[in-house]
Structure 1
Amino acid sequence: MDITLTAKQQIFPDEKQVQTFKDTMNTYTRALNFVSEWIFNHNFNLKQFSIHKEIYHTVRETFSLKSQLTQNAIRDVIARYKAVETQLKSKGGQLEHLWYPLNFKTPQLTLTRDRDYSFLKTGQVSINTNNKREKVDITFKNREHFLEGHKLGEAKLITKNGRWFLYISATKEYPEFQKEKVQHVVGIDRGLRFLATTFDEKGNSHFINGKEILAKRRHFKKLRQSLQKKNTKSAKRRIRKIGQRENRWMTDVNHRLSKALVDYYGPNTLFVLEDLTDVRFATEKHHKDSRYEAVSWAFYQFEQHLAYKSRMNQSEVLKVDAHYTSQRCPKCGTIDKENRLSREHAFFCKNCAYKSNDDRVAAINIQQLGTEWISGTKRPCYTKVEIN
């Protein structure tokens, strides 16, 4: 199994090189928009060969791009349209429903390994531009690890807040997950009060408290609200910075949480999560002061982090049907929405009087579905039986 990560490495161009990079990135971005408009006006043709045949020379001559950069621009636009196409299909739409061509606003540059960028023996990196190749210093963290254990692919040249970075894709092959070797089956219930509640095959539960996380998110929310009332240009800039800072912080939270789980349980672990695809977090079920936190937490990002970290550790993430996992009694199997006492964060079975924490009960039920999958059930789920 191949897993691709992105290595973010800072580079240090001088003033002249900065201007060269900016000029090349701006030209490349204009080329992206040219290709995007062509695709929009030609029935969303996404076949690279035919697009290359039709407009490759036009793009090169119009924007004075080098050969490889021209091909990269065409590939980038096709990839963006295909991503949008996938999103639209999931919602019952098509590319034909787009009113305007996809627009590329942020200056960027895609570089092909060894053709557009390469590492030098001096420790520098050589980067291709419209004028010539520029040699710049780079802080390549874990250089030996990536160069020996990973196959480096394309890189993105990015500038943020006056600093310059290369985002380098790095692919490495890992052993396939083998469920016959599973040692741990861990059910994970995700939430706000507890970021994650776990239950494993030994009956052990862990609660990862989310109170501090909620408090910080509400702090960010209040800052935005106070700035929105001012409605000035400086306030709007500040709002954007706050949003970016909150996103970075949330990403770090999900990164540390997923890493802690993978390290704690070790290899050959099956982590079981509810499949939250198309699940709607109804705002009317939450107090207005807590609606933002309830509907905007990055559950999917946590899932992504846990998935790739697990695969790198010979483990796997399984998504199971989310229906009734919070209503089912794990002892007698009775499903009743009255079993869960949400306000008290408790669970009380109306049939057998089993009591426990509601998040823990959900984790138990999720873990049991994972155990069924290990035993051979392809799509384990809970079904409510109606009694006449």
Structure 2
Amino acid sequence: MKLVVQVKLMPEAEQAAALLATLRTVNEAANRVSAVAFEQGVPREYELRKHTYAELKSRGLGAQAAQHTIKKVRDAYTTLKANIKAGNLGRPGSKRRRKAESKPIAFRPEAAQPYDDRCLSWQYDAQTVSIWTTAGRIRGVRFACSANGLKMLREHRQGESDLVERDGVFYLIATCEVPEEKSYEPDGFIGVDLGIVNIATTSTGYQAAGRDLNRHRKRHGDLRAKLQRKGTKSAKRLLKKRNRREQRHVSNTNHVIAKRIVAEAERTSAGIALEDLGGIRQRVRLRKPQRVTLHSWAFAQLGEFIAYKARRAGVPVVHVDPAYTSQTCCECGHVDKKNRVDQALFICRNCGVVAHADRNASHNIAQRGAVVWNAGRESRVPATP
């Protein structure tokens, strides 16, 4: 299982200038490669290398840096093609899709640049790195990370690391290949219903209310709008200072929720059943104010956090169809839109059971999880007569 560890670089002034110049140079080169790829109809990586490698070397890039720049561009076009094929950029002829297809992919000056072990080496005991730059290799660049992060780097770092710059601070994002625990045979499943009013509700009784987080997001949204309207230098400085603060808060909240759900499943030897919410933005029809809330909510992130933490702990995870889970009675199975009286109340029109709507949905998800798990374990080979 691939995980990443983010470390903060603490370079000296000259080292920081070299790192910044390197990022700008390689991304300028990437834009040039992207233009060539667009003109040539996005050839394969080998063909693209024949058209651009010599030019990149003349720009001062080393052999490995040039190879990584070309691969970065080719991977970006592969991702674009996959998004177009999946319909993530709209239908053929839509404005968003035409815009994506009508010009080369552009790379920001501070966009990430991959490094392999030939361009980057780690000194874990000294907590320093030696890294290639366009001004030559610089050594003794200090980095900082948590104790757990350093342990993971020592034991599991493998593959490339990405150098990025955010608001004048440099980070290395290192890939680690962490072995997964062998999953056990689950004794039932914990259903997890994801939502906005309640971030996560489980069939075992845990409920993560979204009231505080919603207030936090609204407060930050209102403040951003106020500062943007003001438009002064001071307002822009404050906007930059607060950049990504809300995102970090949401990520931390999702980590805490995911950790608790996985710990509960591990303690009770249960599996976890999650809703398959892929394409929810395209399926759901809401008014504009509700759309803003839905589209800015990190459903996918929380689901990914639960899934990867579960794999590390050996907890089985299944994804189920979320259709009608909020309208189905978990006791008798009766499906009726009127069963859900409001956001919080569920009253079955058939058997009369009264329950919290999200709790009822989580029980339905748990039941579907057991069905999916058993279906995957059943043999499809006809019995021998």
TM-score (norm 2): 0.87
Q: How does 1:146-225 map to 2 (within 5 A)?
A: 146-175=152-181, 177=183, 181-199=185-203, 204-225=204-225
Greater Cα offset, 269-278 or 169-178: 169-178
**Which one of the candidate residues 1, 4, 22 is aligned to 2:2?**
4
Confirm or deny that 1:141 pairs with 2:141.
no
Q: In structure 2, do the counterparts of structure 1 residues 334 and 249 end up closer, same or farther at CA, with 3 Å as the change threshold? A: same
Q: How far apart are residue 37 of structure 1 and its match?
A: 0.8
SS in 1 for 2:219: helix
Q: Distance in 2 between matches of 1:237 and 1:148?
A: 38
Give the letter aligned to residue 81 of structure 1: Y
Q: What's the CA shift for 1:327? A: 0.6
1:32 to 30, 33, 39: 30
Give the aligned residue type for 1:215.
R
- Structure 1 gaps of 5+ residues are 379-388
Cα deviations by residue, 1:321-369 (Å, 9 ceiling, x for unpaired)? 11110111111111110111125x1111111111111111110111110
Check the 8 A contact 1:113/1:152 in 2, yes or no.
no
Distance change (3 Å), C-alpha of 1:169 and 1:95: farther
Instruction: Give the superposition deviation at 1:72.
Output: 0.6
Counterpart amino acid of residue 82 in structure 2: T
The Cα RMSD (Å) is: 2.5
Which residue number in structure 2 is paired with residue 67 of structure 1? 63
How many residue pairs align between the two structures? Answer: 365
**Which secondary structure state, in structure 2, belongs to the residue aligned with residue 283 of structure 1?**
coil
Between 1:319-328 and 1:116-125, the stretch displaced more is 116-125
2:126 is the alignment partner of 1:125: no
Deviations 1:7-59 (A, max 9, x none): 111222211112211221111111110111111111122x2222223321222
After TM superposition, list the pairs within 5 Å mapping 1:350-361 onto structure 2.
350-361=349-360
Q: Is 1:77–2:78 an aligned residue pair?
A: no
Structure 1 window deviating more from structure 2 (234-243 vs 69-78): it is 234-243
The match for 1:385 is none
Match of 1:347 in 2: 346
CA distance in 2, matches of 1:359, 1:56: 56
1:85–1:95 CA contact under 8 A, matched in 2: no
Which residue identity does 1:333 align to in structure 2? G
In structure 2, relative to structure 1, the CA distance for the partners of 1:291 and 1:278 (3 Å cut) is: closer
Distance 1:99 1:111, change over 3 A: closer
Q: Which residue of 2 aligns with 1:273?
A: 274
> 2:53 is matched with which residue: 50, 53, 56?
56
1:130 alignment partner AA: T
Structure 1 residue 168: Cα displacement: 1.2
Q: Secondary structure at the match of 2:35?
A: helix
Distance 2:45 2:98 in 1: 17
Q: Residues of 1 paired with 2:37 and 2:372: CA distance?
A: 44
User: How many Å separate the matches in 1 of 2:102 and 2:151?
Assistant: 46
Change (3 A) 1:241 1:57: same
Which whole-Å CA distance do the structure 2 matches of 1:303 and 1:188 have between them? 9
CA displacement 1:252-307 (0-9 Å, x = unmatched): 111111112112221754221221122244332x8x4x653344211111111111
Q: Distance in 2 between matches of 1:225 and 1:147?
A: 40
SS in 2 for 1:312: helix
Letter in structure 2 aligned against 1:320: V
Taking the aligned partners of 1:122 and 1:223, their CA distance within structure 2 comes to: 42
**Contact conserved, 1:154 with 1:169, CA < 8 A, in 2?**
yes
- Deviating runs (4+, > 4 A) in structure 1? 92-97
> 1:95: how far off?
9.2
Q: Partner residue of 1:90?
A: 86
Deviation of 1:176 (Å): 5.0
Unaligned runs of 5+ in 2: 378-385
Q: Do the aligned partners of 2:121 and 2:131 also contact (CA within 8 Å) in 1?
A: yes
Structure 1 SS opposite 2:313: coil
Deviates more, 1:82-91 or 1:228-237: 228-237
Q: What does residue 320 of structure 1 align with?
A: 320
Would the aligned equivalents of 2:5 and 2:153 in 1 still touch at CA under 8 Å? no
Partners of 1:337 and 1:15 lie apart in 2 by 63
In structure 1, the residue matched to 2:109 is 106
Of all paired residues, the percent bearing the same amino acid is 29
> Contact 2:254–2:302 (CA<8 Å) still a contact in 1?
yes
> 1:297 and 1:108, CA in 2 relative to 1: closer, same or farther beyond 3 A?
closer
